[in-house]
Structure 1
Amino acid sequence: MATSASLTEPSVLAHTKRELFPGDDPDGYVVADTQFAQERWVDRRPIAEETKAALAPFNHVRVGTGYPDLVGVGPLDNDLLAVDRQGERPPLVVVEAKGYSGGTVDGERAVVQAHDRLDEANVAFVSAPLASIRDGERTLARELNVGVLGVTESGRVEVLERPRVVGNRTDGEAGAIRFQAGAQGVAEKSFGLNHPKNYLAYPLAVAHDGETERLVADHVVGAVDAARQGAAFLGLVDAQPRPTLTPLGREVVRFGLEEFGTLEAAVVDFESYRRSRKRFVDVAPRWGQVARRVVYAYPATTLLVEELQQMHDDGIDAPSLVELVEWLHAHHPTFTVELFFRGDENVRERVLNEGGELRDAPLSDGDSYHSPTVFQLKAMLYHAGLLTDRGAEPSKLDPERDTWALCHPV
Structure 2
Amino acid sequence: MASAASLSEPRVLAHAKRRLFPEDGDQNAYAVVDTQFSTAEWLAERSVPPSIRERLAPFNHVRVGSGYPDLVGVRSLDSELLAVGRFGDRPPLVAVEAKGYTTGGTVDAERGVVQAYDRLGEANAAYVAAPLAAVSRTDRTLACELNVGVLGVEPDGTVTPLERPRVVGNRTADEATAIRFQATAQGVAEKSFGLNHPKNYLAYPLALYHPDDTEEVLEERVVGATDSARTGAAFLGLIEERPDGVERTPLGGEVVRFALDRHGTVDAALSAFEEWQGSPVRFRELDPAWGAMARRVVWAYPATRLLVEELQTMYDDGIVDPSLVDLLEWLAVGHPTFAVELFVRGTDDARSRVLTADGDLRIEELSDGEVFHSPTVFQLKAMLFHAGILEDRGAEPSRLDPTTDSWRLRNPLEPLR
TM-score under structure 2 length normalisation: 0.96
- For residues 256-405 of structure 1, the aligned pairs below 5 Å read 256-405=259-408
Work out whether 1:146 is the aligned partner of 2:138: no
Mapped partners of 2:123, 2:44: distance in 1 = 29
Contact 1:388–1:405 (CA under 8 A) maintained in structure 2 = yes
Work out whether 1:201 is the aligned partner of 2:196: no
Contact 1:146–1:162 (CA under 8 A) maintained in structure 2 = yes
Contact 1:20–1:77 (CA under 8 A) maintained in structure 2 = no
Provide, for residues 104-130 of structure 1, a one-character-per-residue CA deviation record: whole Å limited to 9, x for no partner.
Answer: 322222111111111111110001111
C-alpha displacement at 1:202, in angstroms?
1.1
Mapped partners of 1:33, 1:389: distance in 2 = 34
- Supply the AA of the counterpart residue of 1:141: A
Mapped partners of 1:158, 1:183: distance in 2 = 31
Aligned partner of residue 160 in structure 2, secondary structure: strand
C-alpha displacement at 1:22, in angstroms?
1.0
Mapped partners of 1:242, 1:38: distance in 2 = 42
59-68 or 71-80: bigger deviation: 71-80
Where does residue 67 of structure 2 map in the other structure?
Answer: 66
Contact 2:284–2:292 (CA under 8 A) maintained in structure 1 = yes
Where does residue 126 of structure 1 map in the other structure?
Answer: 128
Mapped partners of 1:202, 1:157: distance in 2 = 43
Mapped partners of 1:239, 1:228: distance in 2 = 9
Contact 1:387–1:407 (CA under 8 A) maintained in structure 2 = yes
Provide, for residues 140-182 of structure 1, a one-character-per-residue CA deviation record: whole Å limited to 9, x for no partner.
Answer: 1101110011111222111111111112242320111111110
Structure 1 runs of 4+ aligned residues shifted over 4 Å read none
Where does residue 36 of structure 2 map in the other structure?
Answer: 35
Aligned partner of residue 159 in structure 1, secondary structure: strand
Contact 2:27–2:184 (CA under 8 A) maintained in structure 1 = no
Aligned partner of residue 3 in structure 1, secondary structure: coil
- For residues 173-212 of structure 1, the aligned pairs below 5 Å read 173-212=175-214
TM-score under structure 1 length normalisation: 0.98
Provide, for residues 84-140 of structure 1, a one-character-per-residue CA deviation record: whole Å limited to 9, x for no partner.
Answer: 334321111110000111243222221111111111111100011111112111111
Mapped partners of 1:251, 1:191: distance in 2 = 22
Mapped partners of 1:305, 1:316: distance in 2 = 13
Aligned partner of residue 174 in structure 1, secondary structure: helix
Work out whether 1:255 is the aligned partner of 2:261: no
Where does residue 23 of structure 2 map in the other structure?
Answer: 23
Identical positions, percent = 64
Question: Which ranges of structure 2 fall in alignment gaps of 5 or more residues?
Answer: none
32-41 or 96-105: bigger deviation: 96-105
Mapped partners of 1:223, 1:83: distance in 2 = 42
Mapped partners of 1:210, 1:152: distance in 2 = 55
Aligned partner of residue 158 in structure 1, secondary structure: strand
Mapped partners of 1:61, 1:31: distance in 2 = 8
Mapped partners of 1:307, 1:47: distance in 2 = 38
Mapped partners of 1:2, 1:232: distance in 2 = 47
52-61 or 199-208: bigger deviation: 199-208
Contact 2:38–2:357 (CA under 8 A) maintained in structure 1 = yes
120-129 or 101-110: bigger deviation: 101-110
Where does residue 51 of structure 1 map in the other structure?
Answer: 52
Contact 1:63–1:172 (CA under 8 A) maintained in structure 2 = no
Mapped partners of 2:110, 2:284: distance in 1 = 59
Contact 1:151–1:158 (CA under 8 A) maintained in structure 2 = yes
Where does residue 4 of structure 1 map in the other structure?
Answer: 4
C-alpha displacement at 1:367, in angstroms?
0.3
Mapped partners of 2:7, 2:55: distance in 1 = 15
C-alpha displacement at 1:47, in angstroms?
1.6
Contact 1:71–1:95 (CA under 8 A) maintained in structure 2 = yes
For these two proteins, the number of residue pairs brought into alignment is 410
- Supply the AA of the counterpart residue of 1:334: T
Mapped partners of 1:39, 1:149: distance in 2 = 25
- Supply the AA of the counterpart residue of 1:317: V
Contact 2:64–2:173 (CA under 8 A) maintained in structure 1 = no
Aligned partner of residue 264 in structure 1, secondary structure: helix
- Supply the AA of the counterpart residue of 1:239: E
Contact 1:374–1:392 (CA under 8 A) maintained in structure 2 = yes
Provide, for residues 217-251 of structure 1, a one-character-per-residue CA deviation record: whole Å limited to 9, x for no partner.
Answer: 22211111111111111000112232211111111
- Supply the AA of the counterpart residue of 2:41: R
Work out whether 1:90 is the aligned partner of 2:91: yes
C-alpha displacement at 1:216, in angstroms?
1.2
Question: Which ranges of structure 1 fall in alignment gaps of 5 or more residues?
Answer: none
- For residues 94-173 of structure 1, the aligned pairs below 5 Å read 94-103=95-104, 104-173=106-175
- Supply the AA of the counterpart residue of 1:323: D
Mapped partners of 2:208, 2:409: distance in 1 = 33
RMSD: 1.2
Contact 1:43–1:101 (CA under 8 A) maintained in structure 2 = no
278-287 or 153-162: bigger deviation: 153-162
Contact 2:174–2:335 (CA under 8 A) maintained in structure 1 = no
Mapped partners of 2:291, 2:363: distance in 1 = 37
- Supply the AA of the counterpart residue of 1:160: L
C-alpha displacement at 1:43, in angstroms?
4.1
Mapped partners of 2:286, 2:357: distance in 1 = 48
